[in-house]
Structure 1
Amino acid sequence: MASWRCVKQCGACCHLDPTDRPDLEDYLSPEELALYLSMVGDGGWCVHFDHTTRECGIYADRPRFCRVEPEVFKDLFAVEADDLNEFAIACCREQIDGVYGDRSLEMIRFDQEVGVIMTD
């Protein structure tokens, strides 16, 4: 069974372009929405994303909406802990596809890391 984990040096989730996420106000509080929008920089990328290292500059102190944790996903998206793994994998694959493409090296690395088996 596939098991979600963050794949280092991907950064697809750091592409915060609000036009790709029109329902932000449905799950973020007004304060979180303001913080989210303040983090959007050039090309829709988070201002804390280092494009050279492809890592988050504030990872340890990132906002809760950047965390894949059971309590966060239950609160923001009504996803139960038992469904988090499958939901997080689907979200990551969708985001990686949108940012890098469905046949990108990032997608291949993600699928290998989490154990997704693709059939054509």
Structure 2
Amino acid sequence: MWKCVKNCGACCHLDPTARPELDTYLSEAELAQYLSMVGEDGWCINFDRHNRTCQIYDTRPRFCRVEASVFKDMYGIEPEELDEFAIDCCQEQIADVYGEDSREWHDFNQAVGLVQQ
């Protein structure tokens, strides 16, 4: 089962050049908001990289939420497919940002039950 892993933040690396399809699943307003959140280094301006936490977590935009209704609306993913889809997305993003030999990769795969301790 999918779960977010503390001290990762790979999803907060918002570099739009790595996500050329943004305009296919974000509304015009969401795309503008997304782009306004991207810092010069490609990381979300609301991500505290020292503490690896989101500074706007409780009020984060819809596109930052892994919820069945959001994924159904944005990507057409049925609720019963969410775990598998979200796990694949996280693995891809973690590998791109930190690498497959990283602590983040190992911690995520362990948290979702793909590897043992």
Establish whether TM, by shorter chain, passes 0.5. yes
> 1:103 & 1:90 partners in 2: Cα distance?
17
Q: TM-score, normalised by structure 2?
A: 0.97
Pairing of 1:99-118 with structure 2 (within 5 A) = 99-117=97-115
- Give the secondary-structure state (helix, strand or coil) at the position aligned to 1:106: helix
Match of 1:25 in 2: 23
Displacement, 1:102?
1.0
Aligned residues: 116
C-alpha distance in 2 between matches for 1:101 and 1:32: 29
Q: Which residue type is aligned with residue 107 of structure 1?
A: W
Instruction: Please give the TM-score of this superposition, normalised by the length of structure 1.
Output: 0.94
The sequence identity of aligned pairs, in percent, is 60
Q: Give, in whole Å, the separation in 2 of the partners of 1:58 and 1:13.
A: 14
Unmatched 5+ stretches in structure 2 = none
* Runs of 4+ off more than 2 Å: none
CA RMSD of aligned residues (A): 1.0
Residue 43 of structure 1, CA deviation: 1.1
Which ranges of structure 1 fall in alignment gaps of 5 or more residues?
none
Instruction: Note the alpha carbon deviations across 1:59-100, whole angstroms, 9 max, x for none.
Output: 010000000000000000000000000000000000000000
**Alignment match of 1:71 (pick from 50, 69, 72):** 69
SS in 2 for 1:83: helix
